[in-house]
Amino acid sequence: MHIKKHITNKVPLIVLENVSVDFLENNVGIHSVKDFFTIGKRPFKRKTILKGISFIINKGESWAIMGRNGSGKSTLLRTISGIIKPSSGKLTVNGTIAPILALGAGVELELTGFENINLLLSLSGLKQKEIVRLTDEIIDFSELDSNTLQMPVKRYSSGMIARLAFSIALAKNFDILMIDEVLAVGDQGFQGKCIQKINLIKEQGKTIIFVSHAPAEAMKICDKAILIENGNITQSGNSKNVCKHYEALFQS
Amino acid sequence: MKELLKIYALAKRNIKLRYKNSVIGFFWGFLKPFLYLLVFILIFSTQFSSLGNYVLYVTSGLIIWFYFSNVAGQIIQSIISSADLIKSIKIPPIYFPIAELASELFNLCLMFIVFLFVMYPFGITYSFKLFLFFPAVILFSLFTLGFSLILSGINVFLRDVGILWNTILPAFFYVTPVAYPISLIPLKYQSIVKMNPVYYFIELFRHIVYYPDGPSYKLWTGALISGIVSFMIGYFIFQKLSRYFISCI
């Protein structure tokens, strides 16, 4: 049996210490205004999405994040990537993140593929020179021809949008790859290609955080996993074990 | 520098998005003030002989007014309309309003150049005084940005703000002396109209392009103070609210 060499000196890339995230729950409407004036009920309620989460991700590790819909997985990813600020607790991230957080990952539907490549790479802080260089790589990896890339993205199929978004996110240099269940929409060819690419990224010693609802996929990609229930981490450790717990959620 | 490039990329996106699938695209921006101008000339040009040069008077007011209303209108919606991007990329939300301002500012500068040429037969005098346009625009932009930041921050949580703004904007236009002199308003109401900061900015610009004498120190000081105060308040409120944007967009 092949035994993986343990990395003796672990380098923590992401450290969450008791991180909580509050949202404002908004149910503004004519009733809430009436309630506000008659019984003084506030139209906005504070709702805690992540309830004091602590864990450490070291360099080179691959973590799957499992949990029911609405348990706080996406919020956790957005918090780690800096889009949402924690309401309390401490978050430390050492390294750059390539986030693929939604199907389109910020792709603008009215713009063409090329325009989107340019926009998203500019927004991640790259200079025009580097963008031109990376565009070829993106065309290569996404397998979208230049004819397609000159069309507005609204005419793409969801699989093609995923290809574009995925390729853009992977193009620039990063230390941590973050994927929020977006692989499912690509066709088999592209899915295979992505998994291959993810494995390559793992071999390069980069860190992966992967949200998935498919235990088989999560186990294939990730060595470790956490299970989130209601904004708390209830299980963490070996991805096989955690996947068992995840599946048990739906047994009863 | 890196951050400025990001704002530039967003501004470029705004301009592209606004005129996507339209034939004359960019020139729509010129058409709107031009149509208003025609209407006002048609109705009022013989009424206000006291103004001397009515065309120049109205045009200078209209350019500033439309800059104000366009910037405010775009910024108020800027967070909501970029929801997808804000949710998927780490980027300070305030970049979106600033990018809207930048793209409108670009429009305004082009408009001003056209204005300088077109107004030649209408008696604009070319002098170094015209360069005061730039500091005036900076102060006015600060004022407009601050004001709009407040509205755009609140609009994320209460969409009524955006709707309300569109509703009162036409009324706001007519109580601001853009197309008529302030002397037209009955004396007892003039003090109300004079509480409108936009009026002073329009006066500031008119002293640069229309009146023979340049803006007074009083006007400059007023513009400076209202620009900075408005920006600071707007920035503060926007940043306070921005941490909860994600939950409501």
- Tell whether the model's pLDDT for residue B76 goes beyond 90: yes
CB-count exposure of residue A197 (10 Å: 0-12, 13-18, 19+) = middle
Categorize the per-residue pLDDT at A4 as very low, low, confident or very high, splitting at 50, 70 and 90: low
Check CB contact under 8 Å for B10 and A110. no
Structure confidence by residue, pLDDT tens digits, B41-73: 888 877 777 777 888 999 999 999 999 999 999
pLDDT for A213 equals 83
**A26 pairs with which residues across the strands?**
A44
State the Cα–Cα distance between residues B168 and A38, nearest whole angstrom: 28
Cβ atoms < 10 Å from Cβ of A146: 10
**Cβ contacts of B74 within 8 Å, gap of 6 or more:** B14, B100, B103, B104
With H, G, I as helix, E, B as strand and everything else as coil, classify residue A227.
Answer: strand
Categorize the per-residue pLDDT at A184 as very low, low, confident or very high, splitting at 50, 70 and 90: low
- Lowest mean per-residue pLDDT among A99-113, B152-166, B169-183, B211-225: A99-113
**Residue B5: its chain A contacts at CB < 8 A?**
122, 125, 127
A interface residues, B as partner, C-beta within 8 Å:
23-26, 28, 44, 47, 78, 81-85, 97, 99, 101-102, 104-108, 110-111, 115, 118-120, 122-125, 127, 152
* Total beta-carbon pairs less than 8 A apart between chain A and chain B: 81
Cβ atoms < 10 Å from Cβ of B91: 21
pLDDT for B42 equals 87
* Mean pLDDT of the region A163-184: 85
**Cβ contacts of A236 within 8 Å, gap of 6 or more:** A55, A224, A225, A226, A227, A242
Instruction: Point out the residue among B9, B20, B90 whose CB comes nearest to the CB of A110.
Output: B20
What is the average pLDDT value for chain A, to the nearest integer? 86
Which chain B residue has the Cα nearest residue A102? Answer: B88
The alpha carbon of residue B141 is apart from the nearest alpha carbon of chain A, in Å, by 24
- Tell whether the model's pLDDT for residue A175 goes beyond 90: yes
DSSP class of A222: -
**What token pair was written down for B164?**
């309300």
Categorize the per-residue pLDDT at A1 as very low, low, confident or very high, splitting at 50, 70 and 90: very low
* Mean pLDDT of the region A127-148: 91
Of B69, B92, B68, nearest in space to B79 by CA: B92
* DSSP letters spanning A36-66: HHHT---SEEEEEEEEEEEEEEETT-EEEEE
| A226 membership: H or E segment, kind and range | strand A224-229
- Tell whether the model's pLDDT for residue B100 goes beyond 90: yes
Structure confidence by residue, pLDDT tens digits, B159-176: 889 999 999 999 999 999
Categorize the per-residue pLDDT at A6 as very low, low, confident or very high, splitting at 50, 70 and 90: low
Instruction: Point out the residue among B9, B17, B157 whose CB comes nearest to the CB of A123.
Output: B9
Phi, psi of A196 (to 5 degrees): -60, -45
* DSSP letters spanning chain B: -HHHHHHHHHHHHHHHHHTTT-SSGGGHHHHHHHHHHHHHHHHHTTT-GGGS-HHHHHHHHHHHHHHHHHHHHHHHHHHHHTHHHHHHS---TTHHHHHHHHHHHHHHHHHHHHHHHHTGGGTPPPSGGGGGHHHHHHHHHHHHHHHHHHHHHHHHH-THHHHHHHHHHHHHHHHS-SSS-GGGS-HHHHHHHTT-HHHHHHHHHHHHHTSSSPPPHHHHHHHHHHHHHHHHHHHHHHHHHHTTHHHH-
Structure confidence by residue, pLDDT tens digits, B235-248: 999 999 998 898 88
CB within 8 Å of chain A, chain B residues 41-70: none
Structure confidence by residue, pLDDT tens digits, B126-154: 999 999 999 999 999 999 999 999 999 99
Q: How far are the Cα atoms of A224, B96, B153, B203, B233 from residue B78, in angstroms, in the given order?
A: 40, 6, 10, 29, 18
Check CB contact under 8 Å for A123 and B88. no
What is the average pLDDT value for chain B, to the nearest integer? 91
pLDDT for B54 equals 87
* Mean pLDDT of the region B113-125: 89
Report how far Cα A60 is from the mean position of its chain's Cα atoms: 17
pLDDT for A8 equals 55
| Better-scored residue on pLDDT, B24 or A196 | A196
- Tell whether the model's pLDDT for residue A65 goes beyond 90: yes
Structural contact between residues B157 and A24, judged by C-beta atoms closer than 8 angstroms: yes
Which ipTM was obtained for this model? 0.86
| A204 membership: H or E segment, kind and range | none
* Mean pLDDT of the region A38-55: 84
Categorize the per-residue pLDDT at A92 as very low, low, confident or very high, splitting at 50, 70 and 90: very high
**What token pair was written down for B234?**
């707007």
Of the residues A122, A124, A154, the best mutation for testing chain B's interface (the one with the most B CB atoms within 10 Å of its CB) is A122
Instruction: Point out the residue among B2, B85, B157 whose CB comes nearest to the CB of A28.
Output: B157
With H, G, I as helix, E, B as strand and everything else as coil, classify residue A216.
Answer: helix
- Tell whether the model's pLDDT for residue A67 goes beyond 60: yes
Check CB contact under 8 Å for A104 and B9. no
Half-sphere exposure of B200 (CA within 13 A, CB side): 22
| Better-scored residue on pLDDT, A40 or A74 | A74
**What token pair was written down for B150?**
């407040």
**Cβ contacts of B178 within 8 Å, gap of 6 or more:** B58, B61, B62, B64, B65, B202
Q: What residue type is assigned to position A94 of the chain?
A: N
The alpha carbon of residue A216 is apart from the nearest alpha carbon of chain B, in Å, by 26
* B158 CB within 8 Å of a chain A CB: yes
**A92 pairs with which residues across the strands?**
A15
Sign (positive/negative) of CA torsion A194, A242, B246, A84?
A: negative
**Residue B85: its chain A contacts at CB < 8 A?**
106, 108, 123
The alpha carbon of residue A247 is apart from the nearest alpha carbon of chain B, in Å, by 29
DSSP class of A244: H
Pairing label, strands A97-100, A88-93: unpaired
The alpha carbon of residue A20 is apart from the nearest alpha carbon of chain B, in Å, by 13
- Tell whether the model's pLDDT for residue B203 goes beyond 90: yes
pLDDT for B134 equals 94
pLDDT for B13 equals 92
**Residue B10: its chain A contacts at CB < 8 A?**
119, 123
CB-count exposure of residue B171 (10 Å: 0-12, 13-18, 19+) = exposed
**Cβ contacts of A125 within 8 Å, gap of 6 or more:** B2, B5, B6
Pairing label, strands A176-180, A97-100: parallel
| Better-scored residue on pLDDT, B120 or A30 | B120
Strands lying side by side in the sheet with A207-211? A97-100, A176-180, A207-211, A62-67, A224-229, A232-238
Categorize the per-residue pLDDT at A2 as very low, low, confident or very high, splitting at 50, 70 and 90: low
- Tell whether the model's pLDDT for residue B198 goes beyond 50: yes
| A211 membership: H or E segment, kind and range | strand A207-211
Structure confidence by residue, pLDDT tens digits, A156-168: 988 888 888 888 9
Based on its alpha-carbon atoms, the radius of gyration of chain A, rounded to whole angstroms, reads: 20
